[in-house]
Structure 1
Amino acid sequence: MKRRMFLIAGAAASCLPYARAFAADNDTLSQVKASGKLRIGVTSAEPWFFKDPMTEKWTGVGIAMGERMAQELGVEMVPVETSWANAVAGLQANQFDIMFVLDPTEERRNAVDFPDQPLFYYAMGALVPEDSAVASWADLDTPETKLGVTLGTSLDRNVTEMMKSAAINRFSSNDEAIAAFAAGRVDAVVQFHPALVVQYSRLKMGKVVLPTPVDPVATSAGMRKASDDSFRTWVGETFAKLYEEGVPDQIFSAYLESKNIDPTGIPGLVKESW
């Protein structure tokens, strides 16, 4: 009898990690509150996420948003490094709880959850040579044009669908794409306009254009799929409140100012103010 009880206890103990993982997967909000930490996925991509090479401290719009969300819950915000291409897998593996500025594409919706309310809006832009006459996306879609995009982003998908003639070069990060432009290896870099504004301010090369047609793009935040949708509901309600209060614009402007960029006249993240 003692031996049988010992085996049962051992089996129960061996299943405990899986039970905890199942519980966490189905109640992210409780997991965050119990751990006292809101883990957010981060990757090198200004102005959303920026890691200071000297201090290794993360800043950016996504970081500030994560801090606001963590404050709402009364927990600590913890950055977890990933990449755009690995963000979905990281969420599924419970490596972090949420990834801001993750566009809700159809492919991603099949793998992870998104709130109904958007985080904020931006538009697709292009960094082109100073003397470029590009005014539309069609102007960039020529066999002679080499475009740079960041691998695994929604822009990668958009450009692939839009461009039938241009050569598309994919890079692991926004910075690598900009470096290729600076070196003359690509003729233009396609990113969302807030990222291009920051990149241009550092590069001081070329110019930022919003090729027509210009369409506002709603971005969001991804999280693990769960049978308990309390976390997704809370995230959506919080997004709606912060957007209505103009918080995304406030955070973006503050970040630009921290980089000595005057935000005056630069389209923000609230489309109603464009």
Structure 2
Amino acid sequence: MKRRLLILAATVALTLAPMARAQDSGTMAQVKESGELRIGVASAEPWFYKDPMSEQWTGVGVAMGRRMADKLGVTMIPVETSWANAVAGLQANQFDIMFVLDPTEERKKALAFPENPLFYYAMGALVREDSAAKTWVELDTPETRIGVTLGTSLDRNVTEMMTKARINRFSSNDEAIAAFAAGRVDAVVQFHPALVVQYSRLKMGKVLLPEPVNPVATSAGMRQEDSSDFLDWVNATVADLYAAGVPDELFRAYLASKDIDPKGIPGLVKEDW
């Protein structure tokens, strides 16, 4: 019994040690000490994609993490999570930052976000080819089955906007698209860059930007802590990258890697829409 208690105590200490270091010295100090910038990744193209053969992560969020890690002179480490568990993962010090995490009021209570946006996108919908809907109101009918990804800001937005449609929640973007392909939902709501990639693979239905079309600013979530060193650095860095057009550069590069022609596709810098 005594041996078991000692093992349990050691396990708890090892689990809590990283969290204690982060609370004592802050994330920036922890990153520099470890030589690693850990980013949360959750399957959702074009932000995060795990190749099933190589198990390597790519995507806009991964490329953004690599840019930031290079600026800090450290190694980027992807840590797999889910959108629903992203907040808890950051709070538990499982990773240091997660990109493409929208700064909702609920998340702001639990996480820190930079003032400057990471980039922008718009809510879109993949619908049947014979759909005549052009607005969100026209999609909000009792007969319409809407698919969204659980735990995302889109889940919250659709729940607030659509009071008549039947909302179906899935654990990932891919599962929602699979339900559309199987005829289990009539439309899938995702942000327009994700829908472009999904449509290019599926080759069915059509992508809409239902009216009203409003730019949505996405961000990067971090732990709340006494030290503002990491938050201040991220805030200044995302502003510089956005001003230099880096989000569009990374998005176009990812589309090209999937043999998708980026010409005519709205990018991630709203001033160019």
Asked if these proteins are the same fold (TM beyond 0.5), I'd say: yes
How far off its partner does 1:130 sit?
1.0
AA aligned to 2:21 is A
Aligned residue for 1:54, secondary structure, equals coil
Aligned-pair distance for 1:19? 7.1
CA distance in 1 between counterparts of 2:140 and 2:214 reads 18
RMSD (Å), alpha carbons: 1.4
Please name the residue that 2:157 is paired with: 158
Q: Is the 8 A contact 2:19 2:92 kept in 1?
A: no
| Residue 183 of structure 2 corresponds to residue 184 of structure 1 | yes
Give a deviation string over 1:190-226, Cα, whole Å, max 9, x none.
0000000000000000000000000000000100000
Measured in 1, the distance between the counterparts of 2:254 and 2:17 equals: 42
Structure 2 residue aligned with 1:224: 223
Look up the SS of the partner of 2:238 in the other structure: helix
Equivalent AA in structure 1 for residue 57 of structure 2? W
Task: Give the deviation of 1:66 after TM superposition.
Answer: 0.3
| Structure 2 counterpart of 1:99 | 98
The letter for the 1-side match of 2:234 is V
Match of 2:219, SS? strand
SS in 2 for 1:102: coil
> Does the residue aligned with 1:111 lie in a helix, a strand or coil?
coil
Q: Pick from 8, 13, 21: which aligns with 2:19?
A: 21
Contact 2:145 2:167 in 1 (8 A): yes
Summarize the Cα distance change of 1:19–1:60 in structure 2 as closer, same or farther, 3 Å threshold: closer
User: Cα deviation per residue 1:27-78 (whole Å; 9 max; x = unaligned)?
Assistant: 1001001100000000110000000000000000000000000000000000
SS at match of 1:44: coil
Aligned counterparts of 1:235 and 1:48: Cα–Cα separation in 2: 18
User: Partner residue of 1:256?
Assistant: 255
Which letter does structure 2 place at the counterpart of 1:21? M
Question: Which residue is equivalent to 1:47?
Answer: 46
Q: Higher mean Cα deviation, 74-83 or 25-34? A: 25-34
Over 2 Å off, 4+ runs: 14-23
- Counterpart position of 2:242: 243
Where does residue 73 of structure 1 map in the other structure?
Answer: 72
- Shift of residue 17, structure 1, vs aligned partner: 8.1
Over 3 Å counting, the alpha-carbon distance change for 1:147 and 1:16 in structure 2 is closer
Q: Distance in 2 between matches of 1:38 and 1:131?
A: 46
In structure 1, runs of 5+ residues without a counterpart are: 1-13
Match of 2:196 in 1: 197
CA offsets, 1:96-128, max 9 Å, x none?
000000000011010111011100000000000
Shift of 1:23: 3.5
Report the secondary structure of 2:178's partner residue. Answer: helix
Relative to structure 1, is the Cα distance of residues 130 and 70 closer, same or farther in structure 2, using a 3 angstrom cutoff? same
Deviation at 1:18, TM superposition (A): 5.8
Q: Distance between the aligned counterparts of 1:115 and 1:63, measured in 2?
A: 18
State how far apart, in whole Å, the 1-side matches of 2:211 and 2:141 are: 16
What do residues 143-198 of structure 1 show as CA deviations (whole Å, max 9, x unaligned)? Answer: 00000000000000000000010000000000000000000000000000000000
| Structure 2: unaligned runs, 5 residues or longer | 1-11
Number of residue equivalences: 261
Q: Give the corresponding residue for 1:211.
A: 210
